């Protein structure tokens, strides 16, 4: 705080004793958490290994090995623990001062001596590691552990305030926490002794890892014991004053002069706030897909899924009393946050950009953990900013800038092929612009630090809320969490609403490009409507429009479905402000903690509508997207209905002022610029028809392939569309079937890999059954015009739904039927039999027309019914490209009434987890018998045709092992067939 007067000026800085304890606890915890996180990410198997056993028997590192054996975790730990030493010495000094106020100075001196000696002993084993000098390290560790009981006893006996002190209740709370922490601390000791003997004497594998778990428990309980001092030291305030005898202006005069000189234009400030919101939304929207990447890669849950709770965890930590006192206080019995200092806000925003910077980190786990930590920080920052704006009467402005940040997110994705350019699974090679984003971020902090427009007026005391107010706030929090889930599910990419209603060719509905601009414009219009009429979201007509939009989006197709989606996009922004106003009438941290918890639960439930085959009991949600949408609508309406009270509507009826009118004009300019950029994107990304031509029309040869691309992630957790495009171009693929491609879900980031592939390669794209059909998706890319296409859901009574695309292509003037399909897994034999039967019926119905099959069967070659192979090739009247290839299981290629020319399988390298299978077919000038199954002679590689359509020699790499790079395999050379 500061005070200025005429003739003398004093500048003061004050900090409470509880803040010192919070700093000590947070820094100490960060030191250990950072060390173990880096250690597990970089040296996991080496750090858990000891002289008895290694991984997987040993699974958890000891404290000493984590903080002292490896670079860079040792150095990270030492730097952060060094920063902890300042708050540590201050904590010890304050404890000694508290003891001296109530007891003899001898006890205070003893407490001070033990605290300082224990801190120095900690430095001994931290900075002299076991690899530097084992004896000194062990002596320092022993001294530290030996002084710990004495330190705990002195703190428990010496920090009590006077009998009539108002701090007596806080001391009793501290004593309860100390008792629990000390009890747990000492309870670990016998377990540690037993497990250490099992490890050292009996050499039991895994005993040392269990010992290490208790050792880490000592660290946690030690920190918890010292954290209890926050209740006792909260009565102290450390104050630093600086006095200047020069005359300075009075407070009002100085503030006016400062604002006149330093306040940036309101437009610059609004633009910077919108950009900050854009970075926050980018961080939040990538978390679910990063978590799900590990579930898909591991084909099961292994614990990484808990990181999706990071926003909840961040708010939970912020709600812990020692930390909470740093950001929230009670005024007349009401919770108030108040505006954060500009430097604090800037520091928090800068810290949240760590997830952007991790694009340069190779480890997927490190990027996931960083993204989770940043999402937690974003949740806390947003809660503090919204709460401070609520108290200052400017929540409408804060909400509008965050919604405009969402518009910026949509525009950035629209211009970047459905990828946010700052996501951590992008880099400069696949659409990332992280360095530019960080530079813009640094620039956006300048107006924040400048004050002026960023300054909030003094916050009024928050109203008391009775039981009815708490219930209203709770409903508002639940509804706001639902709103967050709806936003990410339906409106986080401009192409998602078009994909929900897509039915194939001929085109009867909208496409992501160019019609995604309508989604952006509708959402921006909703933001402006909410800013102009803050209470618009409380109108029943808006609720009805939203419900009608959801119903049309789910039950209808093509333009009718898209029209419903536009209703959702226009009405959803109007609901945010009333829901936030309602939720924040109660404790803001608790309310938003509940909101994020609801959002996370609904994200998970949304995944279960498709992933029901992977979790026990998940079948309850099988194909129930409609029920999820209905439940979300009910929760939104319930929260909005509860907000129709004078307490909320009064705050929504904000009086107009010169500043608010200027803010609206500035936001109009920002939103207008964003929508203008979106309008330019279709012109830039348009693929002219003359670019879509096959590679070898003169020879009437085309190349087709099938690839299961694992949801657009490569094995290093990077977006793999650019890598796929390079391989497709090298192989000169004319027709490609891609499987596991329905990315229009929060679990996959609501991406669309067809946008880049179709534009870059010059191809038509058919996105298979829409996201509301509950499949993992299929895609057909073609350099030939798609005359017509239909989407099918194959029979799946037990397992996951299987998608199929049946398209008719104009291949060199001949209508050719192409089927792209994905059968279920081997666990569901009946499903695969029924699915393949349906495919065979489709193919048989098109006989004797030329046909091509590109699919995923899960079968061994030449197995008869009920095996899918026999059903497809015999009953579908189809020919296998190479019946002599017995080394196949998942993917198969088939054809009819065409001439087989060549066949090659290409290793996946690290692009996905399945190889790419391709074959070359010639369209004969005169029709040939569809049933002819004379397998032509394989040509030796020396006799390969010297034709422009031949497979590239660049992938002939017999000296390379499979999947060390892209190469033909398992045969090192492509297979060519002699002419009939």
Distance CA 352, CA 632 (A): 29
464 noted as active-site residue:
no
Q: Which of 792, 767, 816 is nearest to 921 (CA)?
A: 816
Query: Quick check: helix, strand or coil at residue 734?
Result: coil
Report whether 644 contacts 582 (CB < 8 A): no
Question: H helices within 353-502, ranges in order?
Answer: 354-357, 364-392, 395-415, 434-449, 467-490, 496-501
Cα–Cα dist 862/880, whole Å? 10
Helix, strand, or coil (residue 482) = helix
Handedness of CA 491, 280, 292, 512 (dihedral sign): positive
* Per annotation, catalytic residue among 515, 791, 792, 822: 822
Are 948 and 699 in contact by the 8 Å Cβ rule? The answer is yes
* Pair 871, 924: CB distance under 8 Å: no
* Torsion sign (Cα): 798, 800, 806, 812: negative
Q: Which string of DSSP letters, residue by residue, matches 606-638?
A: HHHTT-TTSSTTGGGGTT-HHHHHHHHHHHHHH
Is residue 778 within a helix (H) or strand (E), and if so which, with residue range? Answer: strand 778-782
Cis peptide before 848 (omega within 30 of 0): yes
Can you tell me the distance from the alpha carbon of 464 to that of 339, in angstroms, rounded to the nearest whole number?
20
- Checking 449-452 for CB contacts under 8 A at 24+ apart, the result is 449/342, 449/343, 449/346, 450/262, 450/263, 450/264, 450/342, 451/258, 451/259, 451/262, 451/263, 451/342, 452/259, 452/262, 452/263, 452/264, 452/269
Q: Are 842 and 806 in contact (CB under 8 A)?
A: yes
- Report the 10 Å Cβ neighbour count for 79: 12
**Nearest-angstrom CA–CA distance, 516 and 502:** 13
Nearest to 337 by CA among 586, 568, 15, 573: 586
* 777 CB-side CA count, 13 A: 29
**DSSP letter string over 276-341?**
HHHHHHHHHHHHHHHHHHHHHHHTS--SGGGGGGHHHHHHHHHTSHHHHHHH-EEETTEEE--PPP
Residue 531: Cβ within 10 Å count? 25
How far CA 26 is from CA of 31, 84, 969, in Å, comes to 9, 9, 53
Q: What pairing do the DSSP bridges indicate for beta strands 851-856 and 814-822?
A: parallel
Task: Label residues 93-127 b or e (16+ Cβ within 10 Å = b).
Answer: bbbbebbbeebeeebbebbbebbebbbebbbbbbe
From the centroid of its chain, how far is CA 508?
A: 34
Question: 597 is written with which tokens?
Answer: 């918890």
Q: Which residues pair with 899 in a beta bridge?
A: 922
Task: Tell me if residue 587 falls in helix, strand or coil.
Answer: coil
- Residue where the block lists tokens 């300042």: 86
Torsion of CA 585, 586, 592, 598, to 10 degrees: -100
Catalytic positions, please?
A: 822
């Amino acid at each position: 705080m500061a005070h200025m007067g005429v003739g003398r000026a004093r500048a003061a800085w004050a900090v409470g004793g509880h803040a010192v304890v919070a700093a000590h606890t947070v820094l100490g915890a960060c030191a250990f958490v950072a060390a173990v996180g880096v250690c597990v990410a970089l040296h996991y198997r080496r750090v858990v290994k000891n002289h008895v056993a290694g991984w997987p028997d040993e699974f958890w590192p000891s404290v000493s090995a984590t903080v002292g054996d490896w670079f860079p975790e040792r150095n990270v730990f030492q730097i952060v623990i060094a920063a902890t030493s300042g708050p540590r010495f201050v904590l010890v000094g304050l404890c000694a001062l508290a003891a001296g106020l109530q007891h003899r100075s001898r006890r205070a001196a003893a407490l001070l001596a033990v605290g300082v000696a224990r801190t120095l002993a900690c430095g001994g084993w931290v900075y002299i590691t076991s690899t530097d000098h084992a004896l000194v390290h062990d002596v320092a560790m022993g001294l530290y552990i030996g002084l710990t009981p004495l330190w705990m006893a002195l703190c428990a006996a010496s920090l009590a305030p006077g009998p009539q002190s108002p701090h007596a209740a806080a001391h009793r709370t501290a004593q309860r926490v100390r008792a629990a922490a000390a009890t747990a601390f000492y309870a670990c000791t016998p377990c540690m002794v037993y497990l250490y003997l099992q490890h050292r004497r009996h050499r039991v594998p895994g005993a040392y890892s269990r010992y290490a778990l208790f050792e880490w428990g000592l660290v946690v309980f030690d920190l918890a014991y010292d954290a209890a001092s926050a209740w006792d030291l909260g009565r102290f305030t450390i104050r630093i004053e600086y006095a200047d005898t020069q005359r300075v202006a009075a407070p009002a005069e100085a503030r006016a002069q400062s604002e006149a000189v330093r306040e940036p234009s309101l437009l610059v400030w609004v633009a910077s706030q919108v950009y900050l919101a854009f970075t926050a939304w980018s961080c939040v929207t990538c978390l679910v897909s990063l978590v799900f990447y590990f579930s898909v890669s591991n084909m099961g849950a292994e614990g990484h899924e808990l990181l999706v709770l990071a926003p909840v965890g961040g708010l939970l930590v912020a709600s812990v009393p020692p930390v909470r006192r740093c950001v929230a206080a009670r005024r007349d019995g009401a919770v108030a946050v108040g505006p954060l200092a500009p430097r604090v806000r800037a520091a928090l925003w800068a810290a949240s950009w760590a997830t952007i910077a991790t694009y340069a980190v190779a480890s997927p786990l490190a990027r996931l953990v960083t993204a989770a930590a940043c999402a937690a920080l974003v949740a806390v920052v947003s809660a503090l900013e919204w709460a401070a704006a609520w108290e200052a009467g400017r929540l409408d402005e804060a909400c509008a800038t965050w919604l405009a940040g969402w518009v910026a997110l949509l525009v950035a994705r629209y211009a970047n092929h459905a990828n946010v350019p700052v996501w951590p699974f992008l880099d400069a090679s696949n659409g990332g612009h992280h360095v530019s984003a960080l530079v813009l971020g640094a620039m956006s902090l300048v107006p924040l630090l400048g004050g002026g427009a960023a300054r909030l007026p003094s916050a009024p005391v928050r109203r008391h809320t009775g039981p009815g107010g708490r219930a209203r706030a709770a409903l508002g929090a639940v509804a706001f969490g639902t709103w967050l889930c709806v936003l990410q599910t339906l409106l986080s990419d401009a192409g998602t609403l078009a994909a929900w209603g897509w039915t194939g060719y001929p085109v009867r509905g909208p496409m992501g490009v160019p019609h995604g601009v309508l989604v952006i414009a509708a959402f921006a219009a909703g933001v402006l409507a909410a800013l102009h009429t803050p209470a618009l979201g409380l109108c029943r007509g808006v609720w009805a429009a939203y419900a009608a939009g959801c119903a049309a989006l789910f039950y209808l197709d093509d333009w009718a479905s898209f029209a419903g989606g536009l209703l959702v996009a226009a009405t959803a922004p109007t609901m945010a402000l009333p829901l936030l106003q309602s939720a924040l009438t109660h404790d803001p941290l608790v309310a938003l903690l509940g909101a994020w918890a609801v959002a996370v639960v609904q994200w998970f439930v949304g995944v279960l509508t498709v992933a029901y085959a992977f979790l026990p009991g998940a079948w309850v949600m099988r194909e129930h997207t409609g029920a999820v949408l209905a439940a979300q609508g009910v929760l939104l309406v319930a929260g909005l209905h509860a907000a129709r009270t004078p307490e909320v509507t009064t705050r929504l009826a904000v009086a107009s002022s010169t500043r608010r009118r200027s803010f609206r004009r500035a936001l109009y300019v920002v939103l207008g610029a964003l929508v203008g950029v979106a309008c330019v994107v279709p012109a830039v990304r348009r693929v002219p028809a003359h670019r879509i031509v096959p590679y070898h029309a003169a020879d009437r040869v085309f190349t087709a392939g099938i690839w299961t691309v694992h949801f657009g992630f490569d094995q290093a957790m990077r977006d793999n569309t650019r890598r796929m495009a390079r391989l497709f171009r090298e192989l000169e693929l004319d027709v490609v079937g891609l499987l596991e491609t329905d990315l229009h879900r929060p679990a996959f980031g609501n991406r669309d890999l067809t946008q880049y592939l179709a534009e870059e390669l010059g191809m038509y794209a058919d996105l298979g059954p829409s996201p509301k059909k509950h499949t993992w998706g299929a895609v057909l890319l073609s350099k030939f015009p798609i005359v017509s296409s239909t989407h099918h859901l194959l029979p799946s009574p037990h397992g996951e739904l299987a998608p199929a695309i049946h398209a008719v292509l104009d291949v060199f003037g001949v209508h050719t039927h192409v089927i792209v399909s994905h059968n279920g897994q081997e666990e569901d034999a009946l499903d695969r039999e029924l699915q393949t039967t349906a495919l065979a019926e489709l193919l048989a119905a098109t006989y004797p027309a030329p046909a091509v099959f590109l699919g995923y069967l899960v079968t061994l070659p030449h197995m008869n019914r009920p095996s899918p192979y026999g059903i497809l090739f015999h009953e579908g009247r189809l020919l296998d490209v190479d019946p002599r290839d017995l080394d196949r299981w998942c993917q198969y290629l088939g054809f009819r009434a065409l001439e087989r020319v060549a066949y090659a399988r290409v290793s996946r390298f690290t692009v996905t987890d399945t190889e790419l299978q391709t074959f070359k077919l010639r369209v004969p000038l005169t029709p040939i018998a569809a049933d002819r199954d004379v397998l032509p002679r394989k040509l030796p590689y020396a006799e390969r045709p010297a034709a422009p359509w031949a497979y590239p020699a660049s992938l002939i790499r017999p000296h390379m092992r499979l999947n060390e790079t892209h190469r033909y395999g398992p045969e090192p050379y492509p297979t060519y067939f002699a002419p009939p």
